[in-house]
Amino acid sequence: PPRASLRLEDDSPRLNGASLAAAAAATRVNAWTEWGTLREVVVGDAHNAHFPPRSPALRPAINREGGQCFLEPDGSVVEAEGIGALLERSVGWPAGRKAQRTIDAANQQLDNLAAVLRRRGIAVRRPSGGVDWSAPIKTPFFDAPNQYCATCPRDIVATIGNVVLEASMSRRDRYFEVYQYRDMIREIWRADPAMLWKAAPKPSCADRMYNSEWWDLRTEERYAQMRNYSFCITNEEPIFDAADIMRCGKDIFVQLSMTANAAGIEWLARELAPSGVRVHTLRFPYDLAPSHLDCTFVPLRPGLVLTNPERPIAEEDAATFAAAGWRFLDAPQPTNPSRPWASQSSKWLSMNVLSLSPRVVVAEEQEVALHRLLEAEGFEVVKVPFRAVYEFGGSLHCATWDLARDDCCEDFFP
């Protein structure tokens, strides 16, 4: 649907209303920041989701303390507690399709998010389909027994200004995930003559692209290697997942991680330089398995980042923010730190929020401590249930991909 109205209801003092309106009117696809007023967004879905297979980029493990969310026949989502240890003893890491009641619970909460956003006047698209997640992959370089799901578009595609950029991806089972959005991307591209459609070079995902010993390192050995930022992917081929990117206008921040290597960040820097965008590497030296930035470092509005108290940023990377007068706001410990037994994410999904504007943030409904913190900072917090989505790869930021925000290529780091 077209963006009929471009009212600038969030006139933060650092935003220039005239330039915002001009930028938004000129292109349909437009998102330069994590916080500009949201106009159009994609919300993922959990249909036919499969368990991610073990691969050189992921060694999935059962969370022993975890429970599981189910959709009951009466339409309610219940959370069975503490079944992880039992499953670990009886089946180990499973293969194949996830349980239908678990898929239904996730889809109910994803559908609810879509409805909440639509009620606020935001256009919402859902994945257009086409990929059978049960299908194995065979390329000249690797095999994968099955694929995953389309719950987390944030991981695989990013909007940077008027560019829709398909990430290279680090995991074999996610190699073709973007095809779940290809009909949608093509349709938007046809409708918006200003949109640029780009894809990063697909890596081989061959064995040589991975450092398989990394998974077997003991924690002390990982600490010893910490300063090398050496993870399970090597630096031979440019690699990045889109969720390692955070946009702050003219400046893009990318986490060096087990899903984005230095070559991938270099590729982004060269690709974006002609449009005047500066790409910065972010490092979090105490995160021994970093992957995706949105449980670690979440810009909320000009001058403010929600940070993870257990993952402090490297001093040299913090300097960029300090010099421009930005403030880091540590997220509180999660109110509900438990994760479903099949979740491969951390308890910090609690801080994986979606900004609707510089003043409005969507957060998981149980994360009361975070709500209080954000409300004290002047945000309106929209609370939605989302724990049933956690085992499908993420929370509210992961499960969305913004196509249009009211913002522009503004310099927040002059």
- Catalytic residue annotation: 241, 292, 398
Distance of closest approach, residue 340 Cβ to ligand NVA, in angstroms: 13
Comparing CB distances to ligand NVA, the nearer of 108 and 170 is 170
Comparing CB distances to ligand NVA, the nearer of 175 and 284 is 284
Q: Is 297 exposed, middle or buried (0-12, 13-18, 19+ CB in 10 A)?
A: buried
294 binds ligand NVA (CB under 6 A): yes
Distance of closest approach, residue 298 Cβ to ligand NVA, in angstroms: 11
CA atoms of 216 and 233, how far apart (whole Å): 14
Comparing CB distances to ligand NVA, the nearer of 77 and 351 is 351
158 binds ligand NVA (CB under 6 A): no
Number of residues in contact with ligand NVA, rule: CB under 6 A?
10
398 binds ligand NVA (CB under 6 A): yes
Comparing CB distances to ligand NVA, the nearer of 233 and 272 is 233
Distance of closest approach, residue 389 Cβ to ligand NVA, in angstroms: 11
Distance of closest approach, residue 186 Cβ to ligand NVA, in angstroms: 28
Task: Tell me if 374 sits within 8 A of 298, measured CB to CB.
Answer: no
345 binds ligand NVA (CB under 6 A): yes
346 binds ligand NVA (CB under 6 A): yes
394 binds ligand NVA (CB under 6 A): yes
151, 291, 338, 400: residue in contact with ligand NVA (rule CB under 6 A): 291
Piece of the chain touching ligand NVA by CB under 6 A; list 136-144, 180-188, 343-351, 401-409 = 343-351
Distance of closest approach, residue 289 Cβ to ligand NVA, in angstroms: 7
Comparing CB distances to ligand NVA, the nearer of 161 and 393 is 393
127 binds ligand NVA (CB under 6 A): no
Piece of the chain touching ligand NVA by CB under 6 A; list 6-14, 193-201, 227-235, 292-300 = 292-300
Piece of the chain touching ligand NVA by CB under 6 A; list 28-36, 39-47, 209-217, 291-299 = 291-299
70, 179, 267, 348: residue in contact with ligand NVA (rule CB under 6 A): 348
Distance of closest approach, residue 6 Cβ to ligand NVA, in angstroms: 31
Residue ranges binding ligand NVA (CB under 6 A): 291-292, 294-295, 345-346, 348, 352, 394, 398
